[in-house]
């Protein structure tokens, strides 16, 4: 489980201070959690803090109840697998060579790297693309290779940034099925604005708006926010999303004890 406590983040822009996150506390447990929010909500900032590419102005980050600080940062990062929205790999490299390089980066023993790569490719139904060049892959195959890149070191947490954006409907469905399979033995944090993904995956839901958490709960609770007499032309998920943006109540997140990650930095 990943938890954040009282996370705040500010940055300067055009001579003014922008408060991207305003004291967010939440948790991401086993299975899939959808992190929702409109553009500019602070959703991407929170993902970057969880991924340790941004150090928060204030707040604490925990993995399985253990504070992530300077001394434990590398161990924490070893448990993360990140799939960015845009998969940008050298087009002339073969899939097996890309994954071999990443095994080296992550310290996978050379003696076991080949079997690890074979296992990951088999799991992602890419075994027949082992020797293919990246530039020859279809959009769906490239996205799955992006997942493979995030999985070679067997992380316990997967951070997925808009994994179905820009894909054809058939490929989007394929990726949703893949996410559902991966979530059976990992913590998956899915940042998305596509409510079809949420409806299909039935995840836990955390929603950020204007730098604040406006909802945390189950998918069923999220849909239950649908106001009576809603527009039947919209799906219940879309209506619940709009209701949250208009000011749905945030659920309570209990405090976590420990030393500030930002202070340790």
**Each residue of 97-130: pLDDT tens digit?**
999 999 999 999 999 999 999 999 999 999 999 9
Q: Do the beta carbons of residue 28 and residue 208 sit within 8 Å?
A: no
**Residue 194 pLDDT grade (very low, low, confident, very high; cuts 50, 70, 90):** confident
Rounded Cα–Cα distance for residues 152 and 104 (Å)? 10
88-101 mean pLDDT: 97
By CB atoms closer than 10 A (0-12, 13-18, 19+), residue 237 is buried
17-37 pLDDT, tens digit per residue, is 989 999 999 999 999 999 998
- Does residue 230 register a pLDDT over 70? no
pLDDT for residue 235:
67
Could you tell me the pTM of the whole model?
A: 0.85
111 vs 247, more confident: 111
Residues in CB range of 226: below 8 A, 6 or more apart: 236, 239, 240, 243
| Cα distances (Å, whole numbers) of residue 249 to 72, 191, 215, 238 | 35, 21, 6, 17
Superfamily designation of domain 2-79+157-173+184-264: P-loop containing nucleotide triphosphate hydrolases (3.40.50.300)
How far apart are the C-alpha atoms of 189 and 82, rounded to whole Å? 10
Q: Is 120 exposed, middle or buried (0-12, 13-18, 19+ CB in 10 A)?
A: buried
Q: Where are the domains of the chain?
A: 2-79+157-173+184-264, 87-155
């Amino acid at each position: 489980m990943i938890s954040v406590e009282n996370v705040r983040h500010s940055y300067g822009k055009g001579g003014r201070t922008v408060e991207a996150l305003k004291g967010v506390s939440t948790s991401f447990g086993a299975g899939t959690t959808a992190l929702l929010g409109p553009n500019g909500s602070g959703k991407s900032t929170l993902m970057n803090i969880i991924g340790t590419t941004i150090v928060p102005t204030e707040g604490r980050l925990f993995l399985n109840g253990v504070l992530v600080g300077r001394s434990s940062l590398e161990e924490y990062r070893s448990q993360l697998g990140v799939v960015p929205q845009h998969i940008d790999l050298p087009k002339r490299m073969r899939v097996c060579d890309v994954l071999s390089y990443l095994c080296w980066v992550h310290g996978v023993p050379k003696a076991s790297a080949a079997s690890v790569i074979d296992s990951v490719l088999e799991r992602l139904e890419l075994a027949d693309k082992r020797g293919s060049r990246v530039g020859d892959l279809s959009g769906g195959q490239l996205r799955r290779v992006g997942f493979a890149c995030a999985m070679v070191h067997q992380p316990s947490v997967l951070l997925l940034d808009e994994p179905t954006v820009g894909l054809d409907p058939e490929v989007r469905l394929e990726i949703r099925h893949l996410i559902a399979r991966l979530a059976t033995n990992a913590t998956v944090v899915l940042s998305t604005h596509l409510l079809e993904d949420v409806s299909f995956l039935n995840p836990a839901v955390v929603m950020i708006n204007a730098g604040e958490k406006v909802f945390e709960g189950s998918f069923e609770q999220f849909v239950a926010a649908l106001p009576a007499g809603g527009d039947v032309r919209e799906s219940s998920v879309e209506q619940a999303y709009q209701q949250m943006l208009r000011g749905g109540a945030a659920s309570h997140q209990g405090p976590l004890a420990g030393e500030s990650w930002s202070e340790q930095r």
